[in-house]
Structure 1
Amino acid sequence: MDGFIEALASDGRSPELPEEYDYFGKLVGSWKLDYVDRNLSCSVEGEWHFAWVLEGMAIQDVIILPSRATRTETPHPLTECGTSLRIFNPETRAWDVVYGYTGKIFRLEARKQGDMIVLTNLEDANRKWVFASIEDDRFHWQNITVQDDGTWHVNADLYAERA
Protein backbone atom coordinates (compact mmCIF):
# COMPACT_ATOMS: atom_id res chain seq x y z
CA MET A 1 0.00 0.00 0.00
CA ASP A 2 2.88 2.38 0.69
CA GLY A 3 3.94 2.16 -2.97
CA PHE A 4 0.47 3.13 -4.13
CA ILE A 5 0.25 6.14 -1.77
CA GLU A 6 3.78 7.22 -2.72
CA ALA A 7 2.93 7.02 -6.44
CA LEU A 8 -0.40 8.82 -6.02
CA ALA A 9 0.48 11.64 -3.60
CA SER A 10 2.40 14.77 -4.62
CA ASP A 11 4.19 17.37 -2.55
CA GLY A 12 2.49 20.28 -4.32
CA ARG A 13 1.33 21.83 -7.56
CA SER A 14 3.19 20.89 -10.73
CA PRO A 15 5.03 23.77 -12.43
CA GLU A 16 3.11 22.69 -15.56
CA LEU A 17 -0.16 23.80 -13.90
CA PRO A 18 -0.45 27.56 -14.47
CA GLU A 19 -0.89 29.45 -11.20
CA GLU A 20 -3.97 31.29 -12.51
CA TYR A 21 -5.71 27.92 -12.88
CA ASP A 22 -4.79 26.68 -9.40
CA TYR A 23 -8.42 26.91 -8.27
CA PHE A 24 -8.27 24.17 -5.67
CA GLY A 25 -4.79 24.46 -4.13
CA LYS A 26 -6.05 26.46 -1.14
CA LEU A 27 -8.23 23.48 -0.20
CA VAL A 28 -5.32 21.09 0.39
CA GLY A 29 -5.50 19.88 3.98
CA SER A 30 -8.22 18.74 6.36
CA TRP A 31 -11.50 20.48 7.10
CA LYS A 32 -14.33 20.20 9.65
CA LEU A 33 -17.67 20.97 8.11
CA ASP A 34 -21.31 21.61 8.71
CA TYR A 35 -23.47 20.31 5.85
CA VAL A 36 -26.97 21.83 5.76
CA ASP A 37 -29.50 20.17 3.45
CA ARG A 38 -32.20 22.77 2.73
CA ASN A 39 -34.54 20.27 1.05
CA LEU A 40 -34.48 17.78 3.95
CA SER A 41 -34.24 20.51 6.62
CA CYS A 42 -31.41 18.77 8.44
CA SER A 43 -27.68 19.10 8.93
CA VAL A 44 -24.69 16.94 9.77
CA GLU A 45 -21.10 17.48 10.91
CA GLY A 46 -18.54 16.06 8.52
CA GLU A 47 -14.94 16.06 7.42
CA TRP A 48 -13.29 16.74 4.06
CA HIS A 49 -9.65 16.01 3.20
CA PHE A 50 -7.83 17.31 0.07
CA ALA A 51 -4.38 16.42 -1.32
CA TRP A 52 -2.27 17.03 -4.41
CA VAL A 53 -1.96 13.86 -6.52
CA LEU A 54 -0.76 12.64 -9.93
CA GLU A 55 2.50 14.60 -9.98
CA GLY A 56 0.77 17.82 -8.94
CA MET A 57 -1.64 18.05 -11.87
CA ALA A 58 -4.66 16.91 -9.84
CA ILE A 59 -6.31 17.19 -6.45
CA GLN A 60 -8.15 14.31 -4.84
CA ASP A 61 -10.43 14.54 -1.84
CA VAL A 62 -12.40 12.36 0.53
CA ILE A 63 -15.61 13.63 2.12
CA ILE A 64 -17.16 11.81 5.07
CA LEU A 65 -20.69 12.53 6.38
CA PRO A 66 -21.16 12.28 9.31
CA SER A 67 -17.58 12.71 10.47
CA ARG A 68 -15.87 9.69 11.94
CA ALA A 69 -15.79 11.47 15.32
CA THR A 70 -19.57 12.07 15.38
CA ARG A 71 -20.82 8.85 13.77
CA THR A 72 -23.31 6.82 15.81
CA GLU A 73 -24.92 3.42 15.39
CA THR A 74 -28.12 5.09 14.17
CA PRO A 75 -27.73 5.92 10.45
CA HIS A 76 -27.99 9.63 9.62
CA PRO A 77 -30.11 10.62 6.57
CA LEU A 78 -27.09 12.46 5.14
CA THR A 79 -24.58 9.59 5.39
CA GLU A 80 -22.07 9.62 2.54
CA CYS A 81 -18.43 8.73 1.99
CA GLY A 82 -17.11 9.78 -1.39
CA THR A 83 -14.08 10.90 -3.33
CA SER A 84 -13.43 13.43 -6.08
CA LEU A 85 -10.57 13.55 -8.52
CA ARG A 86 -9.98 16.97 -10.08
CA ILE A 87 -7.53 16.94 -13.01
CA PHE A 88 -6.45 20.11 -14.78
CA ASN A 89 -7.01 19.89 -18.54
CA PRO A 90 -4.46 22.09 -20.36
CA GLU A 91 -6.42 21.92 -23.63
CA THR A 92 -9.69 23.30 -22.23
CA ARG A 93 -8.10 25.37 -19.42
CA ALA A 94 -10.73 23.83 -17.11
CA TRP A 95 -10.72 21.07 -14.52
CA ASP A 96 -12.19 17.68 -15.37
CA VAL A 97 -13.82 16.30 -12.23
CA VAL A 98 -15.29 12.97 -11.27
CA TYR A 99 -17.05 12.39 -7.95
CA GLY A 100 -18.16 9.00 -6.75
CA TYR A 101 -19.66 7.25 -3.78
CA THR A 102 -21.42 3.92 -3.44
CA GLY A 103 -23.78 3.57 -6.40
CA LYS A 104 -23.16 7.03 -7.96
CA ILE A 105 -20.62 8.67 -10.27
CA PHE A 106 -20.82 12.29 -11.44
CA ARG A 107 -18.70 13.93 -14.15
CA LEU A 108 -18.27 17.68 -13.91
CA GLU A 109 -16.24 20.52 -15.39
CA ALA A 110 -14.90 23.26 -13.12
CA ARG A 111 -14.39 26.84 -14.24
CA LYS A 112 -14.04 30.18 -12.49
CA GLN A 113 -17.03 32.54 -12.61
CA GLY A 114 -15.98 35.75 -10.90
CA ASP A 115 -14.75 34.76 -7.44
CA MET A 116 -16.63 31.46 -7.50
CA ILE A 117 -15.54 28.06 -8.79
CA VAL A 118 -18.51 26.49 -10.55
CA LEU A 119 -18.56 22.76 -11.23
CA THR A 120 -21.19 21.94 -13.84
CA ASN A 121 -22.61 18.42 -14.13
CA LEU A 122 -21.84 17.22 -17.67
CA GLU A 123 -25.03 15.13 -17.83
CA ASP A 124 -27.30 17.92 -16.54
CA ALA A 125 -26.02 21.51 -16.90
CA ASN A 126 -28.74 22.69 -14.47
CA ARG A 127 -26.95 20.86 -11.63
CA LYS A 128 -23.96 22.71 -10.21
CA TRP A 129 -21.64 22.48 -7.24
CA VAL A 130 -20.21 25.85 -6.32
CA PHE A 131 -17.32 26.91 -4.16
CA ALA A 132 -18.89 30.28 -3.33
CA SER A 133 -15.81 31.38 -1.39
CA ILE A 134 -12.46 29.91 -0.39
CA GLU A 135 -10.32 31.57 2.26
CA ASP A 136 -7.21 30.32 4.03
CA ASP A 137 -9.16 28.94 7.01
CA ARG A 138 -12.74 28.51 5.73
CA PHE A 139 -14.79 27.92 2.64
CA HIS A 140 -18.45 27.85 1.59
CA TRP A 141 -19.72 25.26 -0.90
CA GLN A 142 -23.23 24.93 -2.38
CA ASN A 143 -25.24 22.32 -4.25
CA ILE A 144 -27.31 24.27 -6.81
CA THR A 145 -30.13 23.54 -9.23
CA VAL A 146 -30.64 26.15 -11.95
CA GLN A 147 -34.37 26.81 -12.36
CA ASP A 148 -36.13 27.32 -15.71
CA ASP A 149 -36.03 31.10 -15.22
CA GLY A 150 -32.24 30.99 -14.62
CA THR A 151 -32.37 31.55 -10.87
CA TRP A 152 -30.35 29.31 -8.60
CA HIS A 153 -32.07 27.12 -6.02
CA VAL A 154 -29.68 26.18 -3.20
CA ASN A 155 -30.24 22.54 -2.25
CA ALA A 156 -27.45 22.44 0.32
CA ASP A 157 -24.84 24.65 1.95
CA LEU A 158 -21.56 23.38 3.32
CA TYR A 159 -19.55 25.55 5.69
CA ALA A 160 -16.00 24.35 6.35
CA GLU A 161 -13.26 25.41 8.74
CA ARG A 162 -9.68 24.18 8.57
CA ALA A 163 -9.08 21.35 11.04
Structure 2
Amino acid sequence: MPINTINTILSGVKSATDIGQLLVEAHSSYDKAQLKIEIEKLVDTLHDVKKQTRALEDELYEKDREIKRLNEKLEQKSKAKVTIIGQFAYTNNPEGIPVGQAYCASCYENDEALKSFAIVNTIAACSKCKCTVHFMEAKRIMTPELFESIKAEHSHIIKQL
Protein backbone atom coordinates (compact mmCIF):
# COMPACT_ATOMS: atom_id res chain seq x y z
CA MET A 1 0.00 0.00 0.00
CA PRO A 2 2.68 2.61 0.84
CA ILE A 3 4.35 2.11 -2.57
CA ASN A 4 1.08 2.94 -4.35
CA THR A 5 0.63 5.97 -2.11
CA ILE A 6 4.18 7.14 -2.80
CA ASN A 7 3.62 6.72 -6.56
CA THR A 8 0.41 8.77 -6.31
CA ILE A 9 2.20 11.48 -4.35
CA LEU A 10 5.06 11.62 -6.87
CA SER A 11 2.61 11.73 -9.75
CA GLY A 12 0.75 14.59 -8.07
CA VAL A 13 3.97 16.50 -7.46
CA LYS A 14 4.95 16.00 -11.11
CA SER A 15 1.55 17.29 -12.26
CA ALA A 16 1.84 20.31 -9.96
CA THR A 17 5.37 20.97 -11.23
CA ASP A 18 4.20 20.72 -14.85
CA ILE A 19 1.36 23.17 -14.18
CA GLY A 20 3.74 25.50 -12.34
CA GLN A 21 6.21 25.33 -15.23
CA LEU A 22 3.40 26.09 -17.67
CA LEU A 23 2.47 29.15 -15.60
CA VAL A 24 6.08 30.35 -15.50
CA GLU A 25 6.47 29.99 -19.27
CA ALA A 26 3.07 31.53 -20.00
CA HIS A 27 3.02 34.46 -22.32
CA SER A 28 0.94 37.49 -21.82
CA SER A 29 -1.56 35.96 -24.22
CA TYR A 30 -3.05 33.99 -21.33
CA ASP A 31 -6.11 35.76 -20.18
CA LYS A 32 -7.18 35.93 -16.55
CA ALA A 33 -9.76 33.14 -16.87
CA GLN A 34 -7.25 30.64 -18.29
CA LEU A 35 -4.69 31.62 -15.65
CA LYS A 36 -7.28 31.12 -12.90
CA ILE A 37 -8.15 27.64 -14.25
CA GLU A 38 -4.49 26.60 -14.25
CA ILE A 39 -3.98 27.90 -10.70
CA GLU A 40 -7.07 25.98 -9.52
CA LYS A 41 -5.65 22.81 -11.12
CA LEU A 42 -2.37 23.45 -9.30
CA VAL A 43 -4.13 23.97 -5.96
CA ASP A 44 -6.29 20.84 -6.45
CA THR A 45 -3.25 18.74 -7.33
CA LEU A 46 -1.32 20.02 -4.32
CA HIS A 47 -4.34 19.34 -2.09
CA ASP A 48 -4.45 15.72 -3.37
CA VAL A 49 -0.73 15.36 -2.72
CA LYS A 50 -1.22 16.68 0.82
CA LYS A 51 -4.02 14.15 1.48
CA GLN A 52 -1.95 11.27 0.12
CA THR A 53 1.06 12.36 2.16
CA ARG A 54 -1.08 12.45 5.31
CA ALA A 55 -2.43 8.97 4.54
CA LEU A 56 1.13 7.72 4.10
CA GLU A 57 2.19 9.33 7.38
CA ASP A 58 -0.74 7.64 9.15
CA GLU A 59 0.14 4.28 7.67
CA LEU A 60 3.81 4.65 8.59
CA TYR A 61 2.81 5.65 12.13
CA GLU A 62 0.68 2.49 12.44
CA LYS A 63 3.53 0.37 11.08
CA ASP A 64 5.93 1.93 13.61
CA ARG A 65 3.48 1.17 16.43
CA GLU A 66 3.17 -2.43 15.24
CA ILE A 67 6.96 -2.80 15.04
CA LYS A 68 7.30 -1.37 18.56
CA ARG A 69 4.61 -3.74 19.88
CA LEU A 70 6.28 -6.75 18.25
CA ASN A 71 9.72 -5.72 19.55
CA GLU A 72 8.32 -5.41 23.08
CA LYS A 73 6.68 -8.81 22.75
CA LEU A 74 9.95 -10.30 21.50
CA GLU A 75 11.85 -8.69 24.37
CA GLN A 76 9.40 -10.15 26.89
CA LYS A 77 9.80 -13.59 25.36
CA SER A 78 13.57 -13.33 25.44
CA LYS A 79 13.37 -12.41 29.10
CA ALA A 80 11.37 -15.50 29.98
CA LYS A 81 10.72 -15.99 33.66
CA VAL A 82 12.65 -18.95 34.96
CA THR A 83 12.55 -21.17 38.03
CA ILE A 84 15.71 -22.90 39.22
CA ILE A 85 15.21 -26.28 40.85
CA GLY A 86 18.50 -27.70 42.02
CA GLN A 87 20.82 -27.93 39.01
CA PHE A 88 18.06 -27.26 36.51
CA ALA A 89 16.36 -24.19 35.10
CA TYR A 90 12.82 -24.35 33.74
CA THR A 91 10.89 -21.67 31.89
CA ASN A 92 7.66 -20.63 33.56
CA ASN A 93 4.25 -20.76 31.95
CA PRO A 94 2.03 -17.63 32.05
CA GLU A 95 0.85 -18.64 35.54
CA GLY A 96 4.45 -18.59 36.80
CA ILE A 97 4.78 -22.38 37.10
CA PRO A 98 7.91 -24.04 35.68
CA VAL A 99 7.17 -26.40 32.79
CA GLY A 100 8.94 -28.20 29.98
CA GLN A 101 12.47 -29.38 29.48
CA ALA A 102 15.35 -28.87 31.87
CA TYR A 103 18.11 -26.39 31.12
CA CYS A 104 21.44 -25.82 32.82
CA ALA A 105 20.91 -23.70 35.97
CA SER A 106 24.58 -22.72 36.09
CA CYS A 107 24.49 -21.19 32.59
CA TYR A 108 21.25 -19.40 33.32
CA GLU A 109 22.56 -17.93 36.57
CA ASN A 110 25.81 -16.83 34.92
CA ASP A 111 24.53 -15.27 31.69
CA GLU A 112 20.78 -15.98 31.44
CA ALA A 113 21.39 -18.54 28.70
CA LEU A 114 18.99 -21.45 28.43
CA LYS A 115 21.34 -24.27 27.47
CA SER A 116 20.13 -27.83 27.10
CA PHE A 117 21.90 -31.03 28.09
CA ALA A 118 23.50 -33.55 25.72
CA ILE A 119 22.97 -37.11 26.94
CA VAL A 120 25.80 -39.64 26.72
CA ASN A 121 25.14 -43.02 28.37
CA THR A 122 23.99 -42.25 31.93
CA ILE A 123 25.46 -38.74 32.00
CA ALA A 124 23.97 -35.51 30.69
CA ALA A 125 26.39 -32.65 30.01
CA CYS A 126 25.55 -29.01 29.44
CA SER A 127 26.20 -27.99 25.86
CA LYS A 128 27.97 -24.82 27.05
CA CYS A 129 29.62 -25.13 30.47
CA LYS A 130 29.96 -28.94 30.35
CA CYS A 131 28.64 -29.47 33.88
CA THR A 132 27.23 -32.97 34.28
CA VAL A 133 24.08 -34.41 35.84
CA HIS A 134 22.35 -37.78 35.83
CA PHE A 135 20.64 -38.25 32.46
CA MET A 136 17.26 -39.24 33.97
CA GLU A 137 17.04 -35.93 35.81
CA ALA A 138 18.01 -33.97 32.68
CA LYS A 139 15.37 -35.79 30.61
CA ARG A 140 12.60 -35.08 33.11
CA ILE A 141 9.87 -32.87 31.69
CA MET A 142 8.52 -30.51 34.34
CA THR A 143 4.75 -30.41 34.73
CA PRO A 144 2.65 -28.34 37.15
CA GLU A 145 1.90 -31.52 39.12
CA LEU A 146 5.57 -32.52 39.37
CA PHE A 147 6.47 -28.98 40.43
CA GLU A 148 3.87 -29.03 43.21
CA SER A 149 5.28 -32.36 44.40
CA ILE A 150 8.86 -31.03 44.42
CA LYS A 151 7.74 -27.82 46.09
CA ALA A 152 6.00 -29.78 48.87
CA GLU A 153 9.03 -31.98 49.58
CA HIS A 154 12.05 -29.82 48.63
CA SER A 155 11.04 -26.15 48.66
CA HIS A 156 14.56 -25.17 49.76
CA ILE A 157 16.02 -26.04 46.32
CA ILE A 158 13.55 -23.86 44.40
CA LYS A 159 14.54 -20.35 43.32
CA GLN A 160 12.12 -18.37 41.14
CA LEU A 161 13.74 -15.63 39.06
TM-score (norm 1): 0.22
Determine which structure has more spread, i.e. the larger CA radius of gyration. 2
TM-score (norm 2): 0.22
Higher strand residue share: 1
